[in-house]
Amino acid sequence: MSKERILIGLGIIGYIGAVFFVISLARVSPAQEPAKYVPAPPTKLLCFNSKTEELRESDSNLGCTTEEASLGGAPIEHGDVRPNGLNPTFAIRFQAAQAAAKKLGYRLQITSGFRSQNLQARLFADAVKKYGSEEEASKWVLPRDISHHPWGTAIDVNYPGDKVAVKWLEENGSRFGICRVYENEWWHFEPVIAPGGTCPKMAANALSSLESSPTGAEELN
């Protein structure tokens, strides 16, 4: 047999061996399947039926029924567009708390909720006259661009009346995502946490909100 034929034969044998090697690798190491999507675990969700005044626990996957409204799953913050009423989710939170309080014999009423910017400006001007300076006034009433009332995310409850019922709201409001925020205003509440969360430490007065606002210095000057 010639040397040339031997080389050709060896080449064919090598090619066949390579083919079988690739096939064996394919059998031993199959192609990996794409990673499967694993959804995030559901979070707790409270649903309130305003007709029956029943509060029910659900989760973010199941949601609420068409007859119910969600209390939301996060602190409520205002958007960029000025509203014309109380934040709807905040309103539902208060209704749920109000219904729970009523079952225990407590009466909760919003005595001041959403305010127009013009009304807030008048209240601030009156406070300046009463307390003698914008700084002192801001401990009780904030300027129109800073206050959360014109944003629909602040309420005054039972002022100046029943403090006992409001004390119940202070102690139990966190279940509904409602917190008292100022030490000097027993009546003022805001939706600063998710339902079931822990209310933050109260500020001494409303002036702390003004001092932390990016436009606060301008309001006082």
Neighbouring CB atoms inside 10 A of 199's CB total 18
Mean pLDDT over 65-70 rounds to 98
Write out the DSSP string of 121-144.
HHHHHHHHHHHSSHHHHTTTS--T
- In what helix (H) or strand (E) does residue 98 lie, and over which residues does it extend? helix 88-103
What residues are paired with 59 via a beta bridge? 44
Whole-number mean pLDDT of the chain? 87
The pTM (predicted TM-score) of the whole model is 0.79
Q: How far apart are the C-alpha atoms of 17 and 26, rounded to whole Å?
A: 14
- In terms of DSSP bridges, do strands 155-157 and 44-49 run parallel, antiparallel, or are they unpaired? unpaired
| Full set of structural domains in the chain with CATH | 44-220 (3.30.1380.10)
Residue pair 187/158 in contact (Cβ under 8 Å)? The answer is yes
Neighbour-count burial for 35-52, b at 16+ CB within 10 Å, e otherwise: eeeeeeeeeebbbbbeee
57-67 pLDDT, tens per residue?
Answer: 999 999 999 99
Residue 32 pLDDT: 62
